[in-house]
Structure 1
Amino acid sequence: MATTIDSPRAPHTVRRSRGVNWEKWGWIYMRASGVVLLILIFGHLFVNLWLGDGIKAIDFAFVGGKWSDPFWQVWDCVMLWLAMIHGGNGMRTIVNDYATRALTRKILLAGILVAVVAEIVLGTLVIFTFDPCPAGSPADLLPSFCPVN
């Protein structure tokens, strides 16, 4: 009894014999970033929820104090970048598997790219330009840890 295996659902993916194998590198990235993300996320949860007073301590002042330290800025930025690229690559794989028309696939992939790039740019700007004590603000609107000018 012979068994026939159907061809994959994504007929548009063409196997190349030369050049960079982006599918292989995407697969490797998903595994490596998944491991690093587990460490970053559980470290983030441990510091934010277990070391302090728990969820009730997370407020504007907590975030402002945390992001005043360059270590936590880099930690959160790396976590943002890895998570967004990891998620975007996963969505790309799903689109390649299920979008049968070339135009539909291109539109969906472009939308994913725009969303991922926008989130990374905006998130990075927020992390590195966040100022909980803006100059010229009324003292009654500033958090308690801000020096009064």
Structure 2
Amino acid sequence: MSTSTTSIPDPSTRYRRRGQRGVNAEMLSWMFMRASGVLLVILVFGHLFVNLWLGLGVKGIDFAFVGGKWANPFWQVWDLLMLWLGLIHGGNGVRTIINDYARNDRLRLVLKGLLYVAVVVTIILGTLVIFTFDPCPTGAEPSLLPSFCEG
């Protein structure tokens, strides 16, 4: 009777597929999800605390409130970080779901391509809105402008 031995690698060693070289992208993706998740919890709860608790609640959030907030570079960067991390974190999660459930290589390629385009376009548009938002545009009807705009 022949006995065959099976060797099981030590779980603490790094696994690499045959022929794989360089950076392990899935491990970096996994680490990014953990780090961005922690940062997003801090950013989102800070956002909710300032907007709802310190302010007048939902009724106090209007055009003038957002305009006043985005006049400060600190809040622009805060909201930009929330936008970028939220979209990249969510896009990475959807990418993982596509990899898990799309069995056809062509379908997987199309779905991930659409996902990447949607994430990039949304990040670009959101970034433009945050940094080009002007609550007091020149030449606007004064009665339509918020009260903090100089006449």
Tell me if both proteins adopt one fold, taking TM over 0.5 as the criterion. Answer: yes
Matched residues, number: 135
Percent identity over the alignment? Answer: 67
1:17 Cα deviation (Å)? 3.0
CA distance in 2, matches of 1:117, 1:138: 35
- Give the partner amino acid of 2:131: F
Higher relative contact order (CA 8 A, sep 6+): 1
Structure 2: gaps spanning 5 or more residues: 1-15
Per-residue deviation, residues 30-88 of structure 1 (Å, max 9, x unmatched): 00000000000000000000001111100000000000000000000011000000000
Larger radius of gyration: 2
TM-score of the pair, normalised by structure 2: 0.87
- From 110, 130, 140, the equivalent of 1:127 is 130
Counterpart of 1:118 in structure 2 is 121
* Other-structure match for 1:79: 82
Can you give the 5+ residue segments of structure 1 that lack an aligned partner in the other structure? 1-13
Instruction: Name the residue aligned to 2:146.
Output: 143
Question: 2:87 corresponds to which letter in structure 1?
Answer: M
RMSD: 1.1
Q: Which runs of 4+ in 1 moved over 6 A?
A: none
1:94 pairs, out of 93, 97, 102, with: 97
State the 1:144 CA deviation.
1.2
CA drift of 1:141 comes to 1.3
